[in-house]
Amino acid sequence: MKIALVGCAHGELENIYDAMECLEKKENIKIDILLCCGDFQTSRNEQDLKCMAVPEKYYNMCSFYKYYSGESVAPFLTILIGGNHEASNYLQELPYGGWVAPKIYYLGYAGVINIAGVRIAGLSGIYKAKDYTKGHFEVPPYDDGAKRSVYHVRNLEVFRLKQLSQPIDIFLSHDWPTHVTDYGNKEQLIRFKPHFKDDIAAKVLGSKPCEELLTHLKPKYWFSAHLHCKFAALIPHDDETVTKFLALDKCLPKRRFLQVMDIPHNENEEIKIKYDLEWLTTLLLTNHLLSVKSTTNYMPGPFGNQRYCFTPTEEEKTLVLNKLNKDLSVPDNFVQTSVPYETGSPKKKCYSQPEPIQNPQTVDLCEKLSLDD
Ligand code: 5GP
Ligand code: MN
């Protein structure tokens, strides 16, 4: 199947779809899905803009709201993770993932899905050590601190992803795993982005937890964004497998923000999103580790009598499969939970952040699996 990949979308969804349709005509190809590595900006209205960590001059409605309101229909099945510029209040409605608009699916804080036999995992946000061990304590309306910490990666999601034992085809992260720069054309990267030089030398460019996940999960492909440049690398593993890493630039004219590639899939299956049984079971098995407090939330370690490895057994997976009536297809259960912006409305000067709301998609999944929201 043909996968299109973009780096930071920065709300330019309409332009990205246009570029994909242009490419389809020019190359005489059919693109099946779009993968987006964060800074997607799912702002439905002006209130959502207020929940995004950017200076006020960047409060721009862009084009996501059209796909949310139904004014436009996404021409491609689109999968996204979150970055550090998001309508965080809206993404927080879907901690375990869900449809942010028809045909546009968010993977959650972390998530794993299958599309026609291609297993795609993702981790939203960026790494900042100071918030890594905190719970998900942020609730809108956010103060300035919470508006930033809300998109910082937490140890719970990394711990959960580390339990996966089945092979991953594609992994999506917003910031790059640390050290990938050692396995590509580092000199060219530094020529293009001289201000990365010190961070690369100090081995701090990117995300340490992402590096741990890369060496642990050894996915076939790892795609990232955030640093606003194209960079490719081939990362070898101990067992002689390799991960192909690719980061793309942000969506701007004449920038290298889009790449199409062929990924082998199961041709007998439809191109539709399915839940991943190993992932759902891991969510359930680690449900008790969820914290919504800002205090330190330790993950279990290999000492003491308690269980610390949550890689699901076959029996545990069967239990979860039965909870879902043996049906792993993701339901088409998108619903609007806020009033969308209307094209042509006068720009309001004054608006406030919204209160949190329960998204029926999350309620439904939590009920089916008996998870905490
Ligand atoms: P954003 O679009 O997410 O606000 O910011 C991305 C920009 O921040 C990139 O262009 C990149 O140059 C810069 N940046 C992000 N993380 C790092 C980092 O760890 N080190 C350096 N030197 N720059 C970074
Ligand atoms: Mn970013």
Which domains are present in the chain?
Answer: 2-369 (3.60.21)
Are residues 100 and 68 in contact, defined by beta-carbon separation less than 8 angstroms? Answer: yes
CA of 93 to the centre of ligand 2 (A): 21
CA of 186 to the centre of ligand 2 (A): 20
CA of 169 to the centre of ligand 2 (A): 23
The letter for the amino acid at 95 is: P
* 193 Cα nearest atom in ligand 1: 12
| Cα angle 219, 222, 228; round to 5 | 170
Residue 52 in contact with ligand 1 by CB distance below 6 A: no
The letter for the amino acid at 77 is: L
CA of 10 to the centre of ligand 2 (A): 9
User: Whose Cα sits closest to atom 21 in ligand 1?
Assistant: 196
Per-residue pLDDT, 272: 98
The chain-wide mean pLDDT, for the chain, equals: 96
Phi/psi at 325 (5° precision): 50, 40
Per-residue pLDDT, 19: 96
CA of 209 to the centre of ligand 1 (A): 17
Task: Examine the pLDDT at 349 and tell me if it is beyond 80.
Answer: no
User: Whose Cα sits closest to atom 22 in ligand 1?
Assistant: 196
Are residues 2 and 260 in contact, defined by beta-carbon separation less than 8 angstroms? Answer: yes
* Ligand located closest to 196 CA: 1
User: Whose Cα sits closest to atom 15 in ligand 1?
Assistant: 227
Alpha-carbon span 86 to 48, nearest angstrom: 9
Residue 80 pLDDT level (bands cut at 50, 70, 90): very high
ipTM: 0.97
| Cα angle 202, 206, 211; round to 5 | 100
CA of 21 to the centre of ligand 2 (A): 25
Residue 348 pLDDT level (bands cut at 50, 70, 90): confident
DSSP codes, 55-82: -GGG---TTHHHHHHTSS--SSEEEE--
Residue 227 in contact with ligand 1 by CB distance below 6 A: yes
Per-residue pLDDT, 267: 97
* Ligand located closest to 206 CA: 1
| Cα angle 129, 124, 183; round to 5 | 75
* Ligand located closest to 82 CA: 2
pTM of the model: 0.98
* Ligand located closest to 36 CA: 2
Per-residue pLDDT, 130: 98
User: Residues near 11 by Cβ (< 8 Å), separated by ≥ 6?
Assistant: 40, 41, 43, 60, 61, 62, 63, 64
* 175 Cα nearest atom in ligand 1: 16
Are residues 99 and 55 in contact, defined by beta-carbon separation less than 8 angstroms? Answer: no
Phi/psi at 151 (5° precision): -100, 10
Per-residue pLDDT, 296: 98
Alpha-carbon span 70 to 72, nearest angstrom: 5
Assign 3-state DSSP to the chain and report helix, strand, coil percentages, each to 5: 30, 20, 50
Task: Examine the pLDDT at 246 and tell me if it is beyond 80.
Answer: yes
User: What are 350-373's pLDDT values in tens digits?
Assistant: 789 999 999 999 999 999 999 977
